[in-house]
Each structure stands twice: as structure tokens, then as C-alpha cells.
């Protein structure tokens, strides 16, 4: 088995990452549109991409799994749909899984909050647990596709030694409060920012909400993503950076640019309390 300590995140852009740990290679929210192309957000709304992804879909390494937070065009686009292997397992919401199966992705797995999916490589396991998220305030949320956050627990011999929490496209909401109670000891929190505005409504966290999220989740470290790739994003990364400094949380946050790799902090045996695998590991 590959060394569990050799764990990395490669940032492709927007919410697209390649996460490698414990022998697994995971792709998140595949978005490979190019600068100037438009992502469709439903109800006749679209937004133009401002940036280039750090790689093409044809340059992806062999994948074990895709984790998809929801079915919006800046998270699952026509390039991903046409370029990814139809046999790939894709862990996502039940709404998105039904759409994916109609597109030919027969191994799409739909989860409700707190449901989980296991993958195994020898002594290594990856458990993806869906967590609550809310894409818009009030009645506007009913116009948005269902969205999930996710906890990725990488384990060796039944012991979780790397726990990631990816927020998904959410605003701060009471539904998030159960996450740190069920999943304390988050090693890395990956927060979707941007303060995205659709038809005048803010539908992802801005800089101030991003800091609220850090305080709620209390990760050991954090990576902000999803902040400048599309014209609909109204809260640039500098807003989050200012709020982080004011809150005295600069020591927690690492900034990763498109095309860069961040080494994930796999904990040493006995370094923290025992964390068993969720469910039948």
C-alpha cells in the first residue's frame, strides 16, 4: 500500500481538486470549462468563467472516485460529462445521482445527509459522508438543486488518520451546526467561498461567513477555494483574507493557487484520540 503520509491536494480551479491519500485518487466537482465559456445555473441563468483550469480533463490521472456536491454547471459541466469514464463511481446527492445515471454514469451513488459510502484499497479505506448544506436563504433555496458537503475519512487498518471536510456550496445556516458534533477533529476544512450572487441572492459564503464557518468547524487547518473563477462571484479572496486577519485566524489558513499542490497533514499514530471508521469499516 502507498505511504498514507503521502497525501496531497492539487487545485485545478473553482471547486475542482485532485485529492490523493492512502492509495486513493479522488476528483471533486469536475469543472473544466475555459475562460470565456459559460456555466449554466438553471432558470435561464448562466455565468462566464474568468479563469483557465490548471489542467484538461484529458490530463487527469486514473481516478478511484468523484465527489460531486451538486448539479450546477460550475461544478459539473459538459466537458466533464463527455470526458470522464462512465464507469467511475460518483458520490453525490440523490438528485444529482439520478441525473448522472440518465447521462450514462451507472455507478453514481446518491446520498442524503449523514449517509455514507465506503471504498477500500487493501488495508486502506475511504469513507465519504454527506453533510448538510443550504444553497440559498429562505424560499430561494427551493429554486436551487439539492447540495451536500462531505467528510472524507481516510483510514489505515481501521483508524482514521486524515479527515477532510469540504463545505460544498452553502451559506451559513443552522443545519451546519451538527457537523462538528458528529465529526470533531477535522484535519483540513475546505471552504467554498465567492459570495456567489444569483438574481440578487447570495448563495455561497462570502468572506465574513467563511470565517464563521471556520469558527464553527474548528479545523486544524483550512483551504479556501471557489472564490474568483466566475463572474457571479461577488466576494473575492481578499475579503476572506481580511476577515481571517481580523479574527486572528491567519495561522489556520493556507492559500493554494490553481496548479499548486498542498501536502495534507496525516496524523501520526497516537497523536490524537482514536477515530474509528464511520459505519462498518
In a domain, 215, yes or no: yes
CB 166 within 8 A of CB 28: yes
In a domain, 17, yes or no: yes
Quick one: cell of 51?
A: 479563469
Structural domain harbouring 152: 8-263
Quick: pLDDT tens for 160-173: 999 999 999 999 99
Residue 270 lies in a domain: no
Q: pTM for this structure?
A: 0.94
**Cα–Cα dist 10/27, whole Å:** 10
Residue 102 lies in a domain: yes
Angle, nearest 10°, between helix axes 237-246 and 207-217?
50
Is 60 inside any structural domain? yes
- Tens digits of per-residue pLDDT, 58-70? 999 999 999 999 9
Q: What is the pLDDT of residues 89-116, one digit of tens each?
A: 999 999 999 999 999 999 999 999 999 9
How many CB atoms lie under 10 A from the CB of residue 176? Answer: 20
The region, left, alpha or beta by phi > 0 then psi within -120 to 50, assigned to residue 14 is left
Q: How high does pLDDT run on average in the chain?
A: 94
Q: Is residue 35 part of a domain?
A: yes
Average pLDDT over residues 125-135: 98
Q: How many domains does the chain have?
A: 1
CB within 8 Å of 38: residues ≥ 6 apart: 46, 47, 48, 49, 73
Q: Are 78 and 54 in contact (CB under 8 A)?
A: no
Residues 208-232: tens digit of each pLDDT:
999 999 999 999 999 999 999 999 9
**90 located within any domain:** yes
Q: What is the pLDDT of residues 196-208, one digit of tens each?
A: 999 899 999 999 9
Looking at the domain assignment, is residue 66 inside a domain? yes
Chain-centroid distance, C-alpha 77: 16
What CATH number did the domain enclosing 242 receive? 3.60.15.10
Amino acid at each position: 500500500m502507498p505511504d498514507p503520509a503521502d497525501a496531497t491536494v492539487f487545485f485545478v480551479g473553482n471547486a475542482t481538486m485532485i485529492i490523493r491519500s492512502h492509495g486513493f485518487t479522488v476528483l471533486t466537482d469536475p469543472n473544466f470549462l475555459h475562460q470565456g465559456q459559460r456555466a449554466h445555473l438553471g432558470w435561464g441563468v448562466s455565468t462566464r468563467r474568468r479563469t483557465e483550469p490548471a489542467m484538461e480533463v484529458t490530463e487527469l490521472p486514473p481516478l478511484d472516485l468523484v465527489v460531486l456536491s451538486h448539479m450546477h454547471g460550475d461544478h459539473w459541466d459538459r466537458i466533464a460529462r463527455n470526458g470522464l469514464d462512465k464507469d467511475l463511481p460518483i458520490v453525490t446527492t440523490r438528485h444529482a445521482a439520478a441525473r448522472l445515471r440518465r447521462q450514462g454514469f451507472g455507478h453514481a451513488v446518491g446520498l442524503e445527509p449523514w449517509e455514507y459510502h465506503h471504498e477500500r484499497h487493501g488495508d486502506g479505506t475511504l469513507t465519504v459522508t454527506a453533510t448538510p448544506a443550504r444553497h440559498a436563504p429562505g424560499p430561494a433555496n427551493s429554486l436551487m438543486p439539492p447540495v451536500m458537503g462531505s467528510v472524507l475519512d481516510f483510514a489505515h487498518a481501521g483508524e482514521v488518520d486524515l479527515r477532510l471536510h469540504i463545505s460544498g456550496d452553502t451559506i451559513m445556516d443552522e443545519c451546519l451546526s451538527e457537523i462538528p458534533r458528529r465529526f470533531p477533529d477535522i484535519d483540513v476544512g475546505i471552504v467554498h467561498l465567492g459570495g456567489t450572487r444569483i438574481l440578487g441572492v447570495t448563495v455561497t459564503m462570502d468572506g465574513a461567513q467563511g470565517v464563521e464557518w471556520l469558527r464553527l468547524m474548528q479545523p486544524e487547518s483550512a483551504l479556501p477555494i471557489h472564490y474568483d473563477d466566475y463572474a457571479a462571484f461577488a466576494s473575492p479572496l481578499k475579503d476572506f483574507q481580511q476577515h481571517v486577519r481580523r479574527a486572528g485566524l491567519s495561522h489556520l489558513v493556507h492559500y493554494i493557487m490553481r496548479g499548486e499542490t498542498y501536502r495534507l497533514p496525516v496524523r501520526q499514530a497516537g497523536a490524537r484520540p482514536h477515530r474509528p471508521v464511520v459505519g462498518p469499516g
